[in-house]
Structure 1
C-alpha cells in the first residue's frame, strides 16, 4: 500500500510557484515535510467531492472549510483524490472531525464515515468521538512510495464531516489543534509562501455576495468603479440563493427615489413559496449578471477572514480560497461589509452591538414530496425525540421559515451548533412522519431537500452616524438622506410558547410578532447614514448588519430591501472615488449629487466616476412613486384630488383597504382624541371659487362630527363633518373658498373632540 503527495525539490518549487501564481495545486491542498515524515491533506481539496458538500459557514469558528456528508439519510458518494507518498514507512493516520450530536449526549453516531487508502478501509470509524472539532486517531498504516487513492466513505447520509487528514511517522505525537483561520501550523503544513500574494488596489471591495453585496458591486461598477466582490460560497444570493431558499421580500421601486431597486429587479428570484425550488432562485442568472460587468472581479469560494487597518482606515482584506487553501490579500480604497454577521467590521473593530438576548435565530428550511411507492427512512435515535403533535405539520410539503432556533445562543461563536440543532429538529420531525405516529399517512413520503446552509437573521449590527429605531420607522421620522424604502413590518421572531415550554433550552419553532404600524405599502425611507461606519472612515455596510436597533432590524432585514441598500452604497462609493472623500463626507458635502445619481435608471453607467452618463438599452421606465394604484386614480376624478399620501401627518394613523372604495393606495384612520392630525397644502394654478371636500368612509365606526379646518389667505373656516358617508364613499363638502392665482389651500384634519374614528383618504377642490 502507498499513500500521499511527494514533491521532490524540483516539483516542490514548481508546485509552490503554481500555487503562488494561480491559487491551484494539481493535487489540492496537500503538503509534506521532513522528507515525508509528515503529510497533510485538506478534505476540501479532494479532486472529486462525490456527494460531499463543501461547508464554509463556520471557518471563523473552527479554522477551515470542511466536507459535509449531507445525504438526507442516504450515504453520499465517495469523495476521492490521489496523492503521492514520498517514502516507505509506518504512518499514524489522524482525521480532524467530531461526533456532531455528542454535545447533547444523544444516542448513536449519525456522522460516521471511514477512510479508504488504496482500496483498503481503515478499521476505525470516524465521527464517533469528541464533542468538538478534534483529531481522531485512525491507527497505523504501512505505506509504500507512489500514487495512492484516498476515499472518504460516508456510512449514514446524516452529516458526517471531515476537515483534514494528517499522516505522520512520529507515531507517538498527536498533531496540535490548528487554531484560528489559516493558523501558522496549517500554513506550514500547506507549504504556503511566506509572502501573501496581493491583488488590487480596487476602488471598492465588497465582502459578501448576497442581495446587498450584489447590489453594492453592480451599482458601483456601473458608476465606473473597479470592484472586487468576495463570496465564500460557490453561488451568489446569500439567503436568496438555492442553498437557503428564502424568497426575496420587500417592495422596490417606490418613494421619492423610485429608481432604487431596478438593479435588484434584474436578478431577484421569482419563488412562489419559501422554500421554493432550486430553479426559482436563479443562481446562474445572478452570476451571469455580475460577470457581465467588466468592472467587477468576482471571487467565488473565497472567504474573507482578516483585514489590515491603519489609523481607522482599512487597507486590505485577506481571503482564503476555500478549495485550495491559498491566501490572497485584496487591497482597496473603500470597503463594504455585506457579510450579514458584520465580519469585516469585527476584523477592524468597528463600533457595533448585538442584542444581549431575544435575538432572532437561524432557520434551516426543508421540503418533502410523495413518491408512487413506499419509501424507507432510517430511524434517528440521535435526533430530537418528536411525535406528530410536537411540531407544526409541514404545510404544502414545506418546513417553512418558522423552523428556527438559537434565540439566546451565541449567534456567531456557536453558529454550527445552532445549525446542527436545527438539523436534529428536522430529521426528528421526518422520523415521526415516517417511523412513528405519522407512518400510516406518509408511507410514500421522502425528503427532497433540507438546507444545510443556515439562514441567520440577527447577529452583529455595525453602528453609523444614525442608529435607526423602531420609533423612527413608525413615526416616519424624516431624514434628509432617507432613500431606501423599507416596506416590511417590524417583524421580530420569538420562540413559540408551546415549544419554548417543551424545549426551554433551545426551542426550534418560532412565531413572528409584527408591529403593523409600519407603512407596508409605501415604506419608510431608511437614511444613508445607517450605511457607513461611524469610526472606520472607509467602511460602508449594507444588509442586515447596518446601523439599526434590534427592533428596527425587523423591518430592514428582508432581501430586496437589503439589496436596495447596496444600490445606494455603490453610488455613494463612486462619489467617494470622484471626490477622494469619505462616506461621511458624501453626506456632509455631496448629498445633492448622491440624490441625482439615485434618480438615474438602474442601467445607467459611466466609464469612470464623474464621467458622462449613458443609459443601456432596456432600461426600465420610472415607476410611480408609490407603485401602481390599488384604488381609484385621483387624476381621473373631477377637480383637484389629492391623496392622503401627500398629506403631512402627526400622531398614530393606521392604514386600511377594506372594501376597496378608497382613493390612490389606501385610506388611513385614527382614534378619537388621540392627537392624530393631518395637513394638506394644495397649490392652485387657476384662480376662482372652489368647493373643498374631504373623502368619507362607509363605516359605522367613523365619527359623525369631526372638525376640519380650511385656510386660504385670510379665510379660516372650521366645520364639523360626518365621515360615515354612503356605501360608495363620497366627498363631504366642508366650505367654499376664493383662491387667487398661485395661492395655496390648507386643509387640516383633526381628531380632537370627536366620537368614533376619523378618516383620512383624499381632499377635493372642485371649481364652482
Structure 2
C-alpha cells in the first residue's frame, strides 16, 4: 500500500460546499489550525460552476431575513466583482475563484481539493464507552497521494454524512413515520422516499439558426403533458435562460448508491426536453436561434443521509420557534418538500404548494431557531455536523436545506469548534443550556454577524452611550405604489409596522371600492412580539370604516387609544370582495404585509383530494387560522398612523440588535437631507477603546440570487469616516476612513484612544439618498 502522508490539525472539515467553507473559515479565523477536504475540483457544493444551483436563503420567503456573517461577506464580494447575473445555470468560474480566494487567504487553513475520504479510524474510551474519531484517510485523485488526517475534532459537512456513516454513527435516510416525531406532514409509515437530484442546463441566443438533433439515447418527449403537471418553463424568451429546477429524479433510484444512474437519466431528460422545445413545442420558432451552452455533469442533491444528534429538529419546532437556549442560528424558509418521484411523477406538481393553497399556507412558516444540539452526532463525541446532513427530521429538512441557511449554520459550527478546542470541550459540553461557555459562544457568533433570533449583543462600550444624529427618517407607508397593485379584501389582509408612540389617534388607508354600494370594513389593530408572528396577537383596537361606492382614495378611522410603544403591530382589513387595498410605494424596513389563512376544516382543497400525495396516509393538513406572508411577492400596504411612528432614530445603533426583529433596529437619515450625515455616540465618561465594529445596511430583504452582476447594495454606505473626540471642546480626531465599501460588517482596529464621543460620518452611499446603519460597537481588546 502506498505510504500515507500524515497531517495533524485541530479541526478537519470534510465537505467543500458553502456550509463546509463557512465552517472551515470561521474556525481558522478563531485560531484553530484547520483543514478542509473537498472531493471535487472546485468548492461551493451545489452552487459551484459544476452544478450551478443559485445559493438562496431565508429572505426569499421571510422579510428582512437575509443571512449575514461569512456568507454575506462572500456573496457581497461576488456580486460586486462578478459580471454575471445569478441564476440557475449561470454561475461561472469567477464565483468558484471568489470562494477559493476566501479559503486560501486564511493562514490557519489548509485546502485539499479532489480528495475523497474512504476510511475513518475511531477510538473508544475505556470505561465510558465514548467513541471518537481519531483520523481520516483520503485519496487525492490528481496526484494519487494518500493522506491521513489526525485532529482533535472533525466536522461532517459532506451533505451525504460520509464521516458519520464510516464512523458508525446513527443516521436516517428517507421519510420518517408520522409517529416518529409527531409530524402531520410525514407519512404514516416510514419509507425510503427522498427529494430528487437535479441537473440544470444553460441556453443562449446565438443570433443565427441553431438546429438540434438529439442523440439516440436521449429521452423522447412529444408534448408538455408528458413532462407532467405545472412544470413551468417561464424563463423561455430571455436572451439567456436556464432550466429547470423541476428536472429532478429520485425514487426508485437511491440518491447516493445510484448516483451515476441518476446522472445519466437526468442527462437523457435534459437532452430530450431540449429536443422537444426546439423541434416540436409551441416555443420552437422563438428558440430557432438558441443553443444549449452548458449542461451540468454533476447532479445537485436535495436530500440524502441525516445524522442523528442530541436534538432532532422536527415539524413542531419549525412551526413555532422553540427559542432554544442553545440557539446558534435560524431559518426563514418554508417547508419545501418536493413531490415523490420527481419527473417520473406525471400526475402531480413538482411542489404541492404550487397547486394546493391549504397545503401552501400550512407550510408557510415564520422564522425559527436552530439549536447547537442538532449540530453534532449523538454517538461520536468529537463529530460536528454541517450542511444538509444535520440532525433534522425529513419534514424539517424541507425548511432548512437552502444553501445560505446551511452556510450560516456552518459558520456557527466552525466558531463553536474553535471555541471548544480552545477550552478543551466536547461539542455536547459546549451546547449545555445555561452554561457560561454557551453564552460566550453565542456572543462570538453575534459579533461575527451570525443571525440568532431574539438575542442581543452585550459587552460593547457603546451600550451605555447617548446617541444623536444629524437627521432621521420617519416611517413612511403613505405613498401609493405607482403601479396599479392592490390586494383584494375578500380575505383579510394585514400590515405589520412598528409603533414607537404611546397612543394611536387615527389610522388611514388607501383603498378602492368597485361596488355600487358603500362598504363597511372591520379594522383591527393587534400587538405582536415579532414582525413575522403568525398568531392573532393581542387585540388593541377594533373599529370600522365606511368606504363610499365607486371610490378610490384615503379612508380614515379615528380611534384615540393608548398602546404599548416599542412593539410591532398588525393592522388588518377584510370582509368584502368589492374593496381593494393599495400597495405602498416601498416596503419600509421592518414592515411587511400578511394575509389571514383561515381553514377550520383542515385537509386539501376539494379539487385536489384525489391526488396520491394528499391522501391521509401520506400527510394531514390540520385546521388553521394563521397569518401568512405572501410567498416571493412581498410588499407593504399603503397606510398612515397618527401620531407618526419614528422607528429609525439614532438610538438603534446601540440597541444591541442589528437587524429587524420587533422593531427595525436601524438608523436611517432623512432622504431629503444632503450628505454628509452622521450619527454620534456620547459616552457617559472618558472611555478607552481600540476596536469599533459597524453593521451597515446591505438590504436584508433581497436575496443574493436576484442581484445582478457588478451589484452593490444602494443602501450600503460607500464612503465613511470614523472619528473620536476626547473632550467636549476638542476637535474630532480621524480614526479610520474608507471610500469604496460594499460590505455590511466592518471591523476597525486602531491604536488605543480615550474618547468621550464617537462619530460615524456618512459621505456617500452606493446609490441611496439616505444613510442607513444597523449598529456601532466599541471594545477595548488586549
TM-score band by shorter chain is 0.5 to 0.7
Q: Answer yes or no: is 1:493 the counterpart of 2:303.
A: no
Structure 2 equivalent of residue 513 of structure 1 = 353
Contact 1:487 1:519 in 2 (8 A): no
Matching residue within 297, 307, 316 for 2:135: 316
Matches of 2:406 and 2:154 in 1, distance apart? 17
Q: Quote the Cα distance in structure 1 between the aligned partners of 2:640 and 2:267.
A: 56
Q: Which residue of 2 aligns with 1:398?
A: 242
Change (3 A) 1:440 1:575: closer
Match of 2:54 in 1: 247
**Per-residue deviation, 1:524:** 3.3
Q: Which residue number corresponds to residue 538 of structure 1?
A: 382
Offset of residue 473 of structure 1? 2.4
The answer (yes or no) to whether the contact 1:384–1:428 under 8 Å persists in 2 is yes
| 2:542 aligned with 1:720 | yes
1:559 to 391, 403, 407: 403
For each residue in 1:55-113, what CA deviation from the matched residue of structure 2 results, as whole angstroms up to 9, or x when unmatched? xxxxxxxxxxxxxxxxxxxxxxxxxxxxxxxxxxxxxxxxxxxxxxxxxxxxxxxxxxx
**1:197 and 2:5 matched:** yes
Q: CA deviation at 1:446?
A: 3.7
SS for the counterpart of 1:722 is strand
Deviation per residue, 1:321-346 (Å, 9 max, x gap): 11233321111111111111111111
Instruction: State the 1:745 CA deviation.
Output: 8.9
In 1, distance between residues paired with 2:89 and 2:195? Answer: 22
Cα shift readout 1:738-757 (whole Å, capped 9, x = no counterpart): x9xxx979999899x99998
Alignment of 1:57-72 (within 5 A): none
Q: Does residue 287 of structure 1 match 2:100? A: yes
Are the aligned partners of 1:364 and 1:455 in contact in 2 as well (CA < 8 Å)?
Answer: yes
CA contact (8 A) 1:363 1:402 kept: yes
| 2:200 aligned with 1:365 | yes
1:549 and 2:368 are equivalent in the alignment? no
Change (3 A) 1:413 1:669: farther
- Partners of 2:217 and 2:565 in 1: how far apart? 73
| Pairing partner for 1:463 from 296, 308, 323 | 308
2:445 counterpart of 1:598: yes
Correspondence 1:725-744 to 2 at 5 A: 732-737=557-562
How far did 1:591 drift?
Answer: 2.0
CA distance in 1, matches of 2:408, 2:374: 13
Residue 116 of structure 2 corresponds to residue 303 of structure 1: yes
The 8 Å contact of residues 489 and 576 in structure 2, kept in 1 or not, is answered as: no
Deviation, 1:671, is 7.7
Identify the residue that residue 222 of structure 2 maps to in structure 1: 387
Q: In the TM superposition, what is the alpha-carbon distance from 1:277 to its structure 2 partner?
A: 3.0
Deviation at 1:423, TM superposition (A): 1.2
CA deviations over 1:258-300 (Å, ceiling 9, x no partner): 6464444356566635334353751112111210000100001
Q: Distance in 2 between matches of 1:710 and 1:403?
A: 44
The CA distance in 1 between the partners of 2:150 and 2:33, in whole Å, is: 12
Residue by residue over 1:458-480, the C-alpha shift from the partner in whole angstroms, topping out at 9 and shown as x without a partner, is 11112223322334323334323
Tell me how far apart the structure 2 counterparts of residues 434 and 732 of structure 1 sit (CA, whole Å). Answer: 58
- Is 2:15 aligned against 1:208? yes
Equivalent residues in 2 for 1:610-625 (5 A)?
none
CA contact (8 A) 2:525 2:570 kept: yes
Matched, 1:568 2:415: no
- Would the alpha carbon gap of residues 198 and 597 (structure 1) be closer, same or farther in structure 2, given more than 3 Å must change? same
User: Do the aligned partners of 1:260 and 1:484 also contact (CA within 8 Å) in 2?
Assistant: no
Distance 1:348 1:222 in 2: 28
Q: Deviations over 1:640-673 (max 9, x none)?
A: xxx9xxxxxxxxxxxxx99669xxxx9999988x
Find the residue that maps to 1:239 and give its secondary structure. helix
- Rounded Cα–Cα distance in structure 2 between residues aligned with 1:333 and 1:534: 17
Closer, same or farther: CA 404–283 of 1 in aligned 2, 3 Å: same
Q: 1:582 to 1:268 in 2, by over 3 A?
A: farther
In the alignment, which of 259, 264, 271 is matched to residue 427 of structure 1? 271
Which residue matches 1:618?
none
**Cα root mean square deviation, aligned:** 5.0
CA distance in 2, matches of 1:288, 1:747: 41
Offset at 1:587? 2.3
2:146 to 327, 351, 354: 327
- Separation of aligned partners in 1, 2:495 and 2:281: 58
Deviation readout 1:6-39 (Å, 9 max, x if unpaired):
xxxxxxxxxxxxxxxxxxxxxxxxxxxxxxxxxx
CA contact (8 A) 2:58 2:332 kept: yes
Q: Is the 8 A contact 2:248 2:266 kept in 1?
A: yes
Which range moves more in the overlay, 546-555 or 229-238? 546-555
Q: Counterpart in 2 of 1:451?
A: 296
- Tell me, yes or no, if the aligned pair for 2:169 and 2:379 is still in contact at 8 Å: yes
Checking the alignment, whether the CA contact within 8 Å between 1:696 and 1:724 is kept in structure 2 is no
CA contact (8 A) 1:267 1:286 kept: no
Contact 2:69 2:408 (8 Å CA) reproduced: no
Paired with 2:153 and 2:29, the residues of 1 have a C-alpha distance of 16
Distance 2:157 2:376 in 1: 11
Q: Partners of 2:329 and 2:385 in 1: how far apart?
A: 14
Among 464, 469, 474, the residue aligned to 1:636: 474
**Cα distance change of structure 1 residues 463 and 635 upon mapping to structure 2, 3 Å threshold:** farther
**Which of 1 and 2 has higher RCO (CA within 8 Å, sep 6+)?**
2
1:218 is the counterpart of 2:25:
yes
- Counterpart of 1:585? 429
Any idea what SS the aligned residue of 2:137 has?
strand
* Counterpart in the other structure of 2:90: 277
Count of equivalent residues: 507
Shift, 1:721, TM fit: 1.4
Shift of 1:548: 1.9
Unaligned runs of 5+ in 2: 124-129, 175-190, 451-458, 461-470, 529-537, 578-594, 597-626, 628-635, 646-782
Q: Tell me the distance in 1 between the aligned counterparts of 2:393 and 2:494.
A: 28
What's 2:34 paired with?
227
Distance 2:276 2:15 in 1: 38
Residues in 2 aligned to 1:727 and 1:468: alpha-carbon distance in whole angstroms: 48
Change (3 A) 1:422 1:703: farther
SS, match of residue 22 in structure 2 = helix
Give the match's secondary structure for 2:338: strand
Work out the CA distance in 2 between the residues paired with 1:522 and 1:635.
Answer: 28
Deviation for aligned residue 1:307:
1.0
1:526-581 deviation digits (Å, cap 9, x = unpaired): 33332222222221112111222222222311111111111111111121012111
Per mean C-alpha deviation after superposition, the further-off stretch among 528-537 and 475-484 is 475-484
SS at match of 2:339: strand
State the TM-score, normalizing by the size of structure 1: 0.56
- Give the 3-state SS of the residue equivalent to 1:599 in structure 2: helix
SS of alignment partner, residue 297 of structure 1: strand
Task: Report if aligned partners of 2:508, 2:556 keep a CA contact under 8 Å in 1.
Answer: yes
User: 2:345 aligns to what SS in structure 1?
Assistant: helix
- Cα distance in 2 for residues equivalent to 1:407 and 1:658: 51
SS of 1:544 mapped into structure 2: helix
